[in-house]
Each structure stands twice: as structure tokens, then as C-alpha cells.
Structure 1
Amino acid sequence: MGNELAEETTLQEQVDEQKSGVQQKYGTFGGVFVPTLLTILGVILFLRQGWVIGNAGLLGGWLIITLAFVIVTFTALSMSCITTNIRIKAGGAYSIISQSLGLEVGGSVGVPLYLAQTFAITMYIFGFREGWLYIFPGHYAILVDFVVFGTLFGIAFMSAKLAFRIQYIILAVIVGALISVGGTIFTGAMEHSIQWWGAFPGAPENGFEGVSFWVVFAVLFPAATGIMAGANMSGELKNPKKSIPLGTISAIVISYVIYMASGYWFARVAPVDELVSNYNVMIDYALWAPAVLGGLLGATFSSALASIVGAPRILQALGDHRIFPGGEIFSKLSENGEPRNAILLTGGIVLATLLLRDLNTIAPLITMFFLITYMMINLVVFVEQWMNMISFRPTFTIPKFVPFIGTAGCLFTMFIINSTFGLVALGFVVLTYLYLTNRKLKVPYGDMRSGLFVSLAEWAAKRVSLLPENNERAWKANLLVPVRSARELRGSFSLIRNLVYPKGSVKLVGLSGTGDDSKLRDSLMDFAMSFSRENVYAKWSVIDSDNFKEAILNSLQTLQGTFFRPNILFLRLPNHKRYDEEIHSIINQARLNNMGIQLYVEDTIAQLGRSSSVNVWMRERSPDWDLSMELGNIDLALLTAYKLKMNWNATMRMITVVDESQVEQAYNYLENLLDVARLPDVQPHVEIGTFKEAIQNAPQADVDLMGLPQDPDLDELRLFVERTQSACVFVADSGNENILA
């Protein structure tokens, strides 16, 4: 069943890649940086930042800006971290959360995120209308709304590529607006003394009755959001692992500089009384007012455009996984890769909300849904870091305090802005989660939930049993180690410890047929305590049997039904041939029980040497050298080598042997594999000639890992120790390991 699920998962991923292959068009600048920057440089910059500075003063305003950007920057760092650890698909934040915490959690956040993104389109249209009526007060408001909506919908329906091209024009308009503002430096307009800390007088709407620091923070905070504008296009980026971190963080840094600089400009260009009473200070004091008006219109239009392009992509991803009944309708793509059905539904919702004429009552709820999304992304990374699973190998690493502060900051901001709407939003997410739990969604990939539940408590066992058994992302090394004698185990102790540390486990099974097994029991208990002192979870038991093979086979079958069941059989191949026949039978039985195998052949002279280098041997892949999710019998070998590399701080090489004509293809394949597997510090190495020549000429290692043949010649395996002059571990996959997960 595990193998069938693995094949189904691989097929699903191939289908996803084929679907996304039509769409993957956009690079870092156009696909992430520009939409993110334009969404952050929105209406608050042009119409509300002056009010913030007038209330809080320059230092207070800078503090508010910094706090807001710290929260979203930490979220962006968390998003960048997790993005480089998964194969992110369409849906942006939804894809990130669902691949880590499961479809139920991902869907419970993805549905409100889609609604928030859709309602935000209406909010941006209303903002555009206000700016337009400032210029043309005689125009009909509802007509302006419908014309803007029709323009936005037409652009999104035709092509996202057209939308991104238009955003370049809008970017130029906003740059022109900022230049017009900055140009006042040379006109003498910046003549007022700075108020460093404000009196927080409030706003005209409340009769200047006064406000608190946190109320002013709540007004400015939405300006710092919008960091998902690029991530929402994850399914259509050429290289999302590179583009999302680089584009998002660059946009945030530049936006922060602009907000801080414009805060200084506001503090110098107008008196405090005017800053708190006149929302059009930037327009009135700019070098050329029409440029700022163009920037204001461009900011709201670009934000609406990014949302009307991004929201259907979230709906498409939700439909792909059948999060709601009939969702497959919205997962369909047109010939040019556009989710037309999802765009139609999104347009219909926007059109309906335009008729309501006012969304101010639910505007805080929209902000809450965004904050919950940001909080969950931080929480995903925090949990992944806490669990310390081997599958968590992001190429963009961050300190552990970053996701923690990001999670706490988002939760804090929710209740600072509006505690009532915060509770309503959380309640909506919980209800959606309960609904999706009852839907019994079909999970197309493994996630980290099983590892989390096992780590937390025993009560999670039932929940874990509902998840796919082939949970490649939660894989860890759980060794079953048969023990004939304490002396034999003592020689393998260091290697076993480093094969499982820090999150794996060891199950020691002693074989005693003498009737007096007290000495063996004491030894196993001592070794189990030694493993525990090395922070390795270890359990032991003794089987009274004269037949070593029968006892091991019984152990294999019995332990398959346990909760913390072993997934790797660790065997030691002695120098003599006395046990060859039964070892051969045990290997075959382990394969039938879908267990991985690690057959250790000790170098009696060098033993483990300096424990500073590891070689992994991989068979050549001619003639095609195609990289797929199915690598053959190499996943467990690579995972084993990676454990040794990390625990020994060792050098790791990946070696293959080819003829001279295939050297370039072999290097390209190895480099591609190491990149996809997120193993950047591993050296690819290609040997030319026969395998027998290669193992003698290859760089020396302390341990060489090789695939265990289907019908191994144990004498030949012993010879490899002499040929490599190192200890060897022969490895067979169970089918449940995946170095690419």
C-alpha cells in the first residue's frame, strides 16, 4: 500500500508539474518584486502617513513604521525559509501551509485568504474612486467603480502577463510621484521644525478627542501588508524558491526606506495642525501635484490589479485539492494557462460587493484574514524548526526567534487593531477547519503532521493513523538492531548513534538461547542508557531463541504493528561466513516487510577512521539521465550519508562511474539532483572506467555507502572494504524514503 501511495503521489506531482509548465513565465522582478512593492506603496503612503506623523511625531512615526515592517519582514523571512524547503505549487501561502500542516489547515486559512483578497479588490476600487472624484468631482461614483472594475477584469481575464506589463507603467507613475515629492527639498518647502514625539490629538472624524499610540499603529499597519502579492503567483514563477525570497524581501526593504524618508518629509514640510487635519498634504506640498495624484491612482489601481490576478490563483489551488464541493471546475486552465473559471467567480463576487457601496464595516475583518495567514506561515516555520526533522533543510535559513516573534507579532496586531474582529476571524478559520476535517480530503503529498503529533503526545496516535503511511517529509531513521553479543554492539555503537541522531530511535533486540540471559539484558540496558545520554531514544528487549534467523524474522513481523515501528534493519556482516545463509534470508524477509536495510561491513584496520568523510555511490543513469521523483535505490543511502555528514561535520561526495563520453551529462545530473535535494555542500564526483577501477581510484572516505543488490554476494561485499580501504554500508530502500521530499 505504501508503494502504491508513493506511485500515486509521484503521478500527482508529475501532473501538477505538467499543468504548471504552461504557466511558469515570470521572473523575480516582474513576478514578485514589482507587484509586492506596488501593493505596499499604497493609499496609506499618500493619504494617511502625514496624519500618522502629525499624531505620533517623527520618532513615534518611525517607531510605528518600524514595528509594522518588523512584523511583516519576519513573516517574509519565514515565508522565504519554508519556500526553499518545499516544492511550492500554485496558491502561494495556501500551498505553503497545506504542504506543511495538511490540507485541512491549509484550506481553513486558504478560504478566508481568498475571500480577503477578493474583498480587497473592492476596497481598492473604492479607494481609486475617491482619488478620481478628487480630480473630477462631477463624475458618478458608481459609474467610476464599474469602469475601473471592467478594466481590471478585462486585463486579468486576458492574461496575467498583460497585467504585469501594465504594472511597469504604474511603477513609473509612482516613481514620478515620489520624485515630485522629493523635489521639494530644493524649493525651501521643508522649513518647519520637527516634532519628535506627538501629542496624539486624533482625527477630524472624532473631533480631535485624542487617540492612543496603538490606534495610530492600527491605521498604518495595513500599509505594510501586501507581501503575498508575489507569492500568490507561485505556480507561475520560473524559480519560486529564488524569486519569492529575493523579490519579497527586496520590495520590503525598499518600501521601508521610502516610508521612513517620507515620514521625515512630512515632519518638515507642514505644521502638525495641518498634518492631522489635511489628508492631502502630500498632494498639496508636492513639486507637481498631478504627479502625486497619478501616484495615488496608480497605487490603488495596481493593488487592485495584483489582487484580481492573485485571488483566482488561490481559488484555483483550492479547487485542485477539492477543498470545497465542485472545486475541480475552478482548477481548470485555459490554453494560455489562465484560470478563467476562477477569474469569473472572483469577478462575480467583486461585482456583487460593488453594489453594496460600502465595505467599511468588514474592512477590519479583511485585515484579520491577512494577519491569520501571516501568523500561520510563521507558525509553520516555528514548528518545523522545533521538530528538527531531517526533511527540514531550507536553503534560506533563519534564526529560531524570527518565526516566534512573527507569530506573536501577528497575533498581537490582530487584537490591537480590533479584538472583536480578531475573534470572529479565528472562529471562521476554526469552523472551516472542522468542516474540512469531515470532508476527509485526499492528501496528495506527505507533510510534517505525523512527526508533530508523535512528538507532542500519545493522544495524537489516532490522528496520525489517518495520515498517509508514506509520509516522506516526516521520515526519520528508526533502527532495528539485532544483537548477538554486547561486544559486537560496542563496535557499532558510534555509527548507530550517528545514523539516527537527533530525532531517530534505536530498538535493540538481543538473542539469547542459553537460558541465562541476565548478562545480555544488563548489557542491553546499559547500551540503551548510553544512547539516551547521547540524546537518542532507545528501547531494548531480549528474545529467548536458539535460532537467530527465526527470532529476527519474528521481530520484523511483530514490530510492524507497533506505533513507533522500526523502518530500517541494521545488520553487521562478520568477516567469517558462518552466518551468511541466515543473513541472506533475513535481508530477503526485510525486503518483503518493506523495511530499509543497512548492512555494515567493518574495516577491521581503519574502522571508522577520522569520521570526517563520506562517499555515496550511485549507478550511472545513461542514456537519458532524467531526474524524476523516483531515484531508484539511492534515497536511503543519501539520507544516511546526510545524517553522517551533519553529525560528523564531514565532507560528503556523491560518486558515479561512466565512460568518457558521458562525463558532462553525469556531472549535470549530479548537480541537478543535489540542487533539488537541497544538499548544497555535497561534492559531485564522476569516475571514468569500470566500477572495479573506480572504487580503487576514487577519493578516500571513512565510510562508503553503496546500494545493496537484490541478491547480494556477501563475499563480494566483504571485498569492497579492501578495495575502498574503508568501512562500507550497503543500503536498500524500503520505498518510503525520498531525499527530494
Structure 2
Amino acid sequence: MAEQTPGEATLQEQVEERESTVQQKYGTFGGVFVPTLLTILGVILFLRQGWVIGNAGLMGGWLIITLAFVIVTFTALSMSCITTNIRIKAGGAYSIISQSLGLEVGGSVGVPLYLAQTFAITMYIFGFREGWLYIFPDHYAILVDIAVFATLFIIAFLSAKLAFRIQYIILAVIMGALISVGATVFTGAMEHSIQWWGAFPGAPENNFEGVSFWVVFAVLFPAATGIMAGANMSGELKNPKKSIPIGTLSAIAISYIIYMASGYWMARVAPVDELVSNYNVMIDYALWAPAVLGGLLGATFSSALASIVGAPRILQALGHHKIFPGGDIFSELAENGEPRNAILLTGGLVLVTLLLRDLNTIAPLITMFFLITYMMINLVVFIEQQMDMISFRPTFSIPKLVPFLGTAGCLFTMFIINSTFGLIALSLVILIYLYLTNRKLKVPYGDMRSGLFVSLAEWAAKRVSLLPENNERAWKANLLVPVRSARELRGSFSLIRNLVYPKGSVKLVGMGGTKDHSKFGESLMDFAMSFSRENVYTRWSIIDSDDFRQAVLTSLQTLQGTFFKPNILFLRLPSHKRYDEEIHSIINEARHNNMGIQLYVEDPIAQLGRSSAINVWIREQSPDWDLSMELGNVDLSLLTAYKLKMNWKAQMRVITVVEDSQVEEAYRYLDNLLDAARLPDVLKHVEVGTFNEALQNAPQADLDLMGLPNDPDLEQLRSYVETTQSACVFVADSGNENILA
């Protein structure tokens, strides 16, 4: 392979080089561990854990804490697994899901995740304000909120690096708060006996009317949803494959120990009545209360800071992939690699929500969006593991049970916390997915969807192979269309499309010979793409052969072993006789291979006319006009006509030719046939006389369908076009079709 000179570097390589030198600059400790730890050690630890222990008892509280952390640990394990199998880009969870299930699924989760992360900033600011007003009750709440927001915004706008440096200070403050709590072990404050299982009396807000175990779980669970704080910085980590697993899992482990230990401390330092009625137990019983107050303010400020740094990164990734119109502006980066346009929009949204003064009504929805994100990450890994694709080679492997339990746990938690908001959140995700599907987004990288569909197809193929081969009820038109040149397809394109739409398929086989294969292949590919745009599944190939008959025979025999094997051979009968012998031989080979046949004879003048009327010619049934399941060579003709009737929205007519004495029996037979075949709104017509006379006298149609004789006179078939003054398709059943099924 020739070496690439510096001047030949592609734009993508230049961008990647810039990203590696400008953006990716944070390590495991500062980029993942600290923001994740600080987000988990939030306001619930300082203000609500005592209430959890008071209601559930120590054993019940430990069970709730453990259950919450098990669910997020499974998610973190799944996230760690998938990040070691892909080149994760900016956007954290959005990047993971997009690279696995496509931009549509990634965007449908990424947009709500961005909004949830943004609204969470407001929630954290409100939490900070409550702690501040505890110390300074005379301060105006709105001014506190705006001051905190302005501080956060300036820090995030200047640099994420500055934000991370400030988080080190906050980490020290929180550690001081925990030390102040732990130091009471030596003061004799832990004097109360432990209540192992609580009576769940409730809260002061509901006059202690009682709560359930799951309500208490729902209160504590949001504390564990900070595990994405580090992953949101995925585009700016030096080594995300290493940093995200180590940083996230270690932060979860340390947080779990702190929550379990502080739960034990609360159960020992305060009576149950005070735990459920006083949200400031940790402040009141600490060795030095100001340290805990500082920890509370630091926890809420750091959570808000992590979110206001992480949310714009998600928006920047969404804009880069044009998930929403006009998103390009938010994908732009400043000189120092900061997504400042995304920061500006995020700041504007936070400011608007601050003015609403209360987000309690949508707080559960924010948690739902986080849970849906976690569920999708688990689901991605579960699907990858089940497919056993060779491309799934994570360096951090986990048992298959982990992502399954993580998915189930997240779904279960959604409906435990608030089933109504769970359904609303899922509905919003589905609506965004449908919108993005219609956007026809250009995927900049491969994902596992093709592998997923291939695996499903293989599974289906194996199951189908165990079923009876001839399933008449599952029949659909799968056409094999051999062509000498792409020009042949132009005149019959519309007809072929309507013969198979919507569930059938087309296999185009070009007979190459000495032609320019490259140009011929491009023409066939263009036609295949045109069929695909018409929602018709199409594949094409070229056989290098000068012998058209032998090439068609090879195709017939080869394709019989495929899963989507053709069941109808579509031939076009030229106006000249040059290929008549060849076509005779091909028709016989198709019958021998149990293929249905559609021989199309074009009307050179009218072509397909208005495509508004179809005649189906049925041979007379004398002397026995009884209807049976064996209709003779009629099934494929009727199925073909009915499909054209539906796709063209045309009038369909069945015609038979009889002697004068059999008219009544013929009409009765056609009535019974159409009733048994469930063909409503189809006209019946009986002609009296000879077949040739009937062809001239029958009602005019744009297409006439007739049976193909065993040894057809091709010149006579051509004459029928002139007689009927319409295009004709001569049809032969394979024996596997049944209009009555």
C-alpha cells in the first residue's frame, strides 16, 4: 500500500488529529472518577437518607441502597463493556447507542437525555438554594438561583478544565463533611439501638400516613443516577476505553460504601421518630455542622457543574450528526475545543426553567429519561452478546446475565417510581424515533443493525426450513427477472414493481456476455436502487455468459437453494422471433424447476394505458362446473390480477368463454369462485362464441391476463396483443399458489 503524503490527508483525518490534540485531555481521575463520585454523593445523601433509614430500618435501608446500586452497577458494567468494543465519540451514552443501534435510536434517546441533563442543572441549583437559605434565610431565593447559575455558566463557558479544578476543591469539602460525620464515632453519639426493619410511617408532608417499600426506594434511587457524569466527557478523554470503566466503577464502589456506612451511622445517632421527621439529621448530629452544610452546598454545586459541562457535549454530538434541523451551529467548537454555542443554548434553557421556579412536576420525567438511557445501554450489550458477532470483542467482558438484569431492572424501576411518567417518557422517545426515521439521516459509521437483522434472518431461515416447503398461505411474489440489457427494464419497470409490491421481491440477473460489465452493473444497480426507493426489496447480479438460455437455467437452479428464492420467472417476449426457440426452452426449464411464469407481451402503442382495468381470462369448466380447491392454471393469474388491482386501484374483471347453453352455469361458477377467493368488487363477464371472437368483443382493458399453454405458439401470443389492443401477460402456475387459501 502506497504511503500517504501529508498533503493528501483527508479532512476527517485532520479533524481527528485536531480532536486528539485539542479535546482529548482528561484522564481517569479528573475526567471520570471525580465528576461521577460527586454527582452520586448529592443532596439525597445529606438530606434524605436519614428519612430512608427511619422508614425502612437499617436492614430495609441497606436493601434499598443495595438494590439501587446493583441496577446502576449493571448499567456501568454494560457501559464499560461496550466502550471497550467501539471507538466512542463525543456524547457519552448517545455515542454508545448511536454506534450500536443507529442514529435514529441514539437520537431518540439522546435528545431526551440532553433535556434531562439540562433540567437537572436547574434542580441542582434549587437544591443548592435550599441549603443556602438554611444558612442565610433572609436572602432572596431568585437572586441566589441567578447568582449560582451565573457562576456555573461562566465556569463552563470558560473551560471544562477550570470546572474540573473547582471540583477538586468541592471533593475536599465533601470529604471534610464526611470526616465530620465519621468523627462522632469517638464522641459517644452513636447511642441508639438499631431498628433493623422499619414500619414505613411516611413523611411529614403526608402527615405520616404511611408509605410502601417501593416509594422509599423511589426517593433514594435518583441518588444513584449520576453514573454518566464521566461518560458524558467521552469525546475529551485521553483514553475513554480505560477511563470510563475504571473511573465509573470505582466511583460507584466508593459511593456505595459511603451510603451503607452513613446509613449505619444514622441508625445509631438518632431515634426513628427524628429520622423520619427531621431532614437535617446529618447536619444536626455531625461533629461540626458547618462542614456538613459545606458538603451539602458542594454536592449540589458539583452536580450542577458536572451537568452544565456534560449536557452541551451531548448537544454538540447531536448537532454534529444533524439530529435536528439547524444543529450544525451547535457542533462548532471554539479555539480551545469548548462547544460554546451548545453551552449558550444550554444556559438559555436553564435560565428559562429557573424562572419557572418549580420543576417538581417534571422531576420524575427527568429520572425516566436517565433510566431509559441506562436501559438502552444494557439492551445494546445484551443484543450484541446474543448475536455472537465476531466484531463484538470487548476487552472488558461481562456475563450475559448482567445486561439482561440491567435492562429488566431499569424498566422495573421506571414503573415503580411513576408508571404514568414512565409511559410518557417512552412515548416521547418513540415519537422522536419516528421523526428521525423520516429524516433519512446519513450514518457516518457502521452500527450493529445490519448484523442484528442478519441474525434475525438466519434465525427465521432456520425455523422456516423446519416448516412444510409449500405454504400456500405465506405465498408472495418473488420475481426472477433475467435481462440482456438494462434497457429492457425501462418498459416493464412499473409493471414489475406493481406485481410484487409491497411484500414481494425482485432478483435482477444480467446476462453479461461480452458487454461492458462495469457499465451494465451500474445500470442494474441504478434500477435496483429505484425499486428500493419504491419500497421493493431488490437484489441484482451479473452472469458472465453469451448463452442466455444456459445462464437463465443456471440462475433457476442456483437460486432454488436460497432463503428468498424466486417463485416466478418474469420474461419479456420481444416483438421479433429471433429468441423464440430460446424462450421456449427457458419456459420448459422453469416448469421443470416448479417456477411460476409470467410472460409479458408489451403493447407497442398503448403500453399499459391508464393502468385502470385488468381482464383475467379463465377457461370454461364444462361439463363439470363444480368449484374445487384445484382450479387448474388460474391461481397465479388471479393472484397477479388482484395485486395489480390493489396497487393500481384498478377495475378487475374475470372472463370466461362458453357456448350459449352454458352461460347461466358459467356465471354461477364465477360467483362461487370470487366468493371462495374472497375477491370483492370484481366484475364477472361471460362471452359466447369462440375464443378469438371473445378477444375482440370483450370489454377493453389495459392488461389482459391469460393462461400460458404447455407448448405455446409465441407468434399467436403476440397476435393477442393486436386483437385485444392491450398488453398481455401469459401466466403459468407452479402448483404452489392457491387463490382459495
Range class of TM-score, shorter chain? 0.5 to 0.7
Q: Counterpart of 1:670?
A: none
Q: Counterpart of 1:397?
A: 397
Deviations 1:259-295 (A, max 9, x none): 0000000000000000000000000000000000000
Q: Counterpart of 1:231?
A: 231
Structure 1 CA distance, aligned partners of 2:120 and 2:563?
47
TM-superposed CA distance for 1:21, in Å, is 3.6
Q: Counterpart of 2:665?
A: none
Structure 2 CA distance, aligned partners of 1:459 and 1:292?
58
TM-superposed CA distance for 1:20, in Å, is 5.0
Q: Counterpart of 2:59?
A: 59
TM-superposed CA distance for 1:558, in Å, is 8.3
Deviations 1:188-226 (A, max 9, x none): 000000000000000000000000000000000001111
Deviations 1:605-663 (A, max 9, x none): xxxxxxxxxxxxxxxxxxxxxxxxxxxxxxxxxxxxxxxxxxxxxxxxxxxxxxxxxxx
Structure 2 CA distance, aligned partners of 1:412 and 1:10?
47
Structure 2 CA distance, aligned partners of 1:189 and 1:554?
90
CA contact (8 A) 1:99 1:447 kept: yes
**Closer, same or farther in 2 for the Cα pair 1:364/1:10, shift >3 Å?**
farther
Within the alignment, does 1:346 sit opposite 2:346 as a pair?
A: yes
Structure 2 CA distance, aligned partners of 1:254 and 1:13?
39
**Closer, same or farther in 2 for the Cα pair 1:444/1:17, shift >3 Å?**
farther
TM-superposed CA distance for 1:427, in Å, is 0.1
Structure 1 CA distance, aligned partners of 2:13 and 2:367?
33
Deviations 1:327-353 (A, max 9, x none): 110000000000000000000000000
CA contact (8 A) 1:329 1:341 kept: yes
Find the residue that maps to 2:23 and give its secondary structure. coil
Gap runs ≥5 in structure 1 = 1-7, 462-542, 566-741
Find the residue that maps to 1:355 and give its secondary structure. helix
Structure 2 CA distance, aligned partners of 1:335 and 1:460?
52
Letter in 1 for 2:129: R
Pairs within 5 Å for 1:598-609: none
Structure 1 CA distance, aligned partners of 2:430 and 2:174?
40
Q: Counterpart of 2:410?
A: 410
TM-superposed CA distance for 1:16, in Å, is 4.3
TM-superposed CA distance for 1:451, in Å, is 1.5
CA contact (8 A) 1:60 1:198 kept: yes
CA contact (8 A) 1:51 1:276 kept: yes
Within the alignment, does 1:270 sit opposite 2:266 as a pair?
A: no
Q: Counterpart of 1:453?
A: 453
Pairs within 5 Å for 1:513-552: none
Deviations 1:392-419 (A, max 9, x none): 0000000000000000000000000000
**Closer, same or farther in 2 for the Cα pair 1:562/1:107, shift >3 Å?**
farther
Deviations 1:15-56 (A, max 9, x none): 345335410110000000000000000000000000000000
Letter in 1 for 2:373: T
Q: Counterpart of 2:419?
A: 419
Structure 1 CA distance, aligned partners of 2:345 and 2:184?
46
Structure 2 CA distance, aligned partners of 1:553 and 1:73?
59
TM-superposed CA distance for 1:13, in Å, is 6.7
Letter in 2 for 1:383: I
Q: Counterpart of 1:198?
A: 198
Letter in 1 for 2:336: N
Structure 2 CA distance, aligned partners of 1:553 and 1:86?
45
TM-superposed CA distance for 1:457, in Å, is 4.3
TM-superposed CA distance for 1:554, in Å, is 7.5
CA contact (8 A) 1:58 1:194 kept: yes
Pairs within 5 Å for 1:212-227: 212-227=212-227
Structure 2 CA distance, aligned partners of 1:176 and 1:555?
78
Pairs within 5 Å for 1:596-675: none
Structure 2 CA distance, aligned partners of 1:555 and 1:394?
41
Structure 2 CA distance, aligned partners of 1:16 and 1:304?
30
Structure 1 CA distance, aligned partners of 2:308 and 2:145?
15
TM-score by length of structure 1 reads 0.61
Within the alignment, does 1:381 sit opposite 2:381 as a pair?
A: yes
Structure 2 CA distance, aligned partners of 1:552 and 1:379?
45
Q: Counterpart of 2:91?
A: 91
Letter in 1 for 2:144: V
Deviations 1:160-188 (A, max 9, x none): 00000000000000000000000000000
**Closer, same or farther in 2 for the Cα pair 1:556/1:77, shift >3 Å?**
farther
Letter in 2 for 1:159: S
Find the residue that maps to 1:200 and give its secondary structure. coil
Structure 2 CA distance, aligned partners of 1:143 and 1:409?
40
Letter in 1 for 2:146: F
Find the residue that maps to 2:82 and give its secondary structure. helix
**Closer, same or farther in 2 for the Cα pair 1:446/1:12, shift >3 Å?**
farther
Q: Counterpart of 2:159?
A: 159
TM-superposed CA distance for 1:9, in Å, is 14
CA contact (8 A) 1:78 1:377 kept: yes
Total equivalences in the alignment: 473
Pairs within 5 Å for 1:231-630: 231-457=231-457
**Closer, same or farther in 2 for the Cα pair 1:232/1:553, shift >3 Å?**
farther
CA contact (8 A) 1:94 1:107 kept: yes
Within the alignment, does 1:29 sit opposite 2:25 as a pair?
A: no
CA contact (8 A) 1:76 1:249 kept: yes
Letter in 2 for 1:48: R
Deviations 1:317-336 (A, max 9, x none): 00010000011100000000
Structure showing greater radius of gyration is 2
Letter in 1 for 2:304: A
Structure 2 CA distance, aligned partners of 1:326 and 1:385?
37
Find the residue that maps to 2:356 and give its secondary structure. coil
Structure 2 CA distance, aligned partners of 1:195 and 1:135?
32
Q: Counterpart of 1:169?
A: 169
Pairs within 5 Å for 1:686-701: none
Q: CA RMSD in A?
A: 2.8
Letter in 2 for 1:179: I
CA contact (8 A) 1:58 1:196 kept: yes
Deviations 1:583-626 (A, max 9, x none): xxxxxxxxxxxxxxxxxxxxxxxxxxxxxxxxxxxxxxxxxxxx
**Closer, same or farther in 2 for the Cα pair 1:202/1:557, shift >3 Å?**
same
Q: Counterpart of 2:715?
A: none
Deviations 1:218-237 (A, max 9, x none): 00000111100000000000
Structure 1 CA distance, aligned partners of 2:13 and 2:564?
29
Gap runs ≥5 in structure 2 = 1-7, 462-542, 566-741
Letter in 2 for 1:427: S
Percent identity, aligned pairs only, is 91
Deviations 1:230-249 (A, max 9, x none): 00000000000000000000
Letter in 2 for 1:453: F
Deviations 1:448-476 (A, max 9, x none): 10111222248999xxxxxxxxxxxxxxx
**Closer, same or farther in 2 for the Cα pair 1:338/1:407, shift >3 Å?**
same
Structure 2 CA distance, aligned partners of 1:58 and 1:9?
62
Find the residue that maps to 1:100 and give its secondary structure. helix
Q: Counterpart of 1:181?
A: 181
Find the residue that maps to 1:25 and give its secondary structure. coil
Structure 1 CA distance, aligned partners of 2:18 and 2:557?
40
**Closer, same or farther in 2 for the Cα pair 1:9/1:432, shift >3 Å?**
farther
Q: Counterpart of 1:625?
A: none
Structure 1 CA distance, aligned partners of 2:557 and 2:91?
42
TM-superposed CA distance for 1:564, in Å, is 8.4
Find the residue that maps to 1:22 and give its secondary structure. helix
Deviations 1:708-737 (A, max 9, x none): xxxxxxxxxxxxxxxxxxxxxxxxxxxxxx
**Closer, same or farther in 2 for the Cα pair 1:335/1:564, shift >3 Å?**
farther
Deviations 1:51-93 (A, max 9, x none): 0000000000000000000000000000000000000000000
Deviations 1:340-369 (A, max 9, x none): 000000000000000000000000000000
CA contact (8 A) 1:52 1:220 kept: yes
Structure 1 CA distance, aligned partners of 2:194 and 2:426?
41
Letter in 2 for 1:404: F
CA contact (8 A) 1:65 1:260 kept: yes
Off by >3 Å, runs of 4+ in structure 1: 8-21, 457-461, 550-559, 561-565
Structure 2 CA distance, aligned partners of 1:73 and 1:14?
37
**Closer, same or farther in 2 for the Cα pair 1:108/1:192, shift >3 Å?**
same
**Closer, same or farther in 2 for the Cα pair 1:554/1:207, shift >3 Å?**
same
Structure 1 CA distance, aligned partners of 2:369 and 2:16?
27
